[in-house]
C-alpha cells in the first residue's frame, strides 16, 4: 500500500493571478469523479470511513482544513491543507477524518472511481480487521 503523499500542483502565473493545472498524467489514476465540500461548518468532522479501492486527491482550493489518516496498523498522520498549490494523494486503505475547516473553505476531491457504496468501510473495528487480514 503506497503512503499518502502531498503533491505540488504545477501553476502558471502572471500579474493577473495564477492557474493551478492538474493535467492528464499528473495523478497516478484517471479521474472518474470530481466533487467538493463547501459550506462546511468549522466544528464539522467529515469522513470517518475508509475506501477499499478508491484513490483520491484532495485540494484546499480555498481556506484550510486538516486531514487525519490512520492506516489501521497503528500509524496516524495529520496533514494540514491550506493552499491550492498542493494536494494530498490518499491511496486506498486509510481511515480518514477531515476537521478544522476554516470558514469559507472548499475541499476539492478528484477520485479514481464513481461513487460506489460497497467501496466504503464505515466501522473502524471492521476497517482494522480488514487491514489485518491483508
Q: Is the dihedral of CA 106, 40, 47, 116 positive or negative?
A: negative
- Tell me whether residue 37 is exposed, middle or buried, using C-beta atoms within 10 angstroms of its C-beta: 0 to 12, 13 to 18, 19 or more: middle
Alpha-carbon gap, residue 17 to 28, rounded angstroms = 28
> Active-site residue 49, yes or no?
yes
Residue 46 engages ligand TYD in binding (rule: CB under 6 A): yes
Q: Which is nearer to ligand TYD, 16 or 114 (CB)?
A: 114
- Residues with Cβ within 8 Å of residue 60, at least 6 apart in sequence: 81, 82, 83, 84, 105, 106, 107, 108
Residue 47 engages ligand TYD in binding (rule: CB under 6 A): yes
String of contacts with ligand TYD for each residue 48-87, x by CB under 6 A: -x--------------------------------------
Residue 92 engages ligand TYD in binding (rule: CB under 6 A): no
Q: Which is nearer to ligand TYD, 8 or 52 (CB)?
A: 52
Residue 97 engages ligand TYD in binding (rule: CB under 6 A): no
Stretch 26-45 residues interacting with ligand TYD (CB under 6 A) = 35, 37
**Distance from the Cα of residue 58 to its chain's centroid:** 4
CB of 116 to ligand TYD, least distance (A): 9
CB of 3 to ligand TYD, least distance (A): 21
The three-state secondary structure class of 72 is coil
Alpha-carbon gap, residue 64 to 88, rounded angstroms = 13
Q: Which residues are catalytic, by number? A: 49
Amino acid at each position: 500500500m503506497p503512503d499518502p503523499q502531498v503533491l505540488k500542483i504545477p501553476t502558471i502565473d502572471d500579474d493577473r493571478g495564477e492557474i493551478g493545472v492538474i493535467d492528464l498524467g499528473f495523478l497516478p489514476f484517471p479521474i472518474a469523479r470530481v466533487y467538493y465540500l463547501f459550506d462546511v461548518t468549522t466544528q464539522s468532522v467529515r469522513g470517518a470511513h475508509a475506501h477499499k479501492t478508491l484513490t483520491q486527491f484532495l485540494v484546499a482550493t480555498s481556506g484550510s482544513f486538516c486531514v487525519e489518516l490512520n492506516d489501521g496498523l497503528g500509524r496516524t498522520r495529520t496533514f494540514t491543507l491550506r493552499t491550492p498549490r498542493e494536494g494530498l494523494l490518499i491511496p486506498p486503505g486509510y481511515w480518514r477524518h477531515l476537521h478544522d475547516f476554516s470558514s469559507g473553505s472548499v475541499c476539492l476531491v478528484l477520485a479514481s472511481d464513481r461513487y460506489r457504496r460497497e467501496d466504503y468501510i464505515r466501522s473502524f473495528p471492521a476497517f482494522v480487521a480488514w487491514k489485518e487480514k491483508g
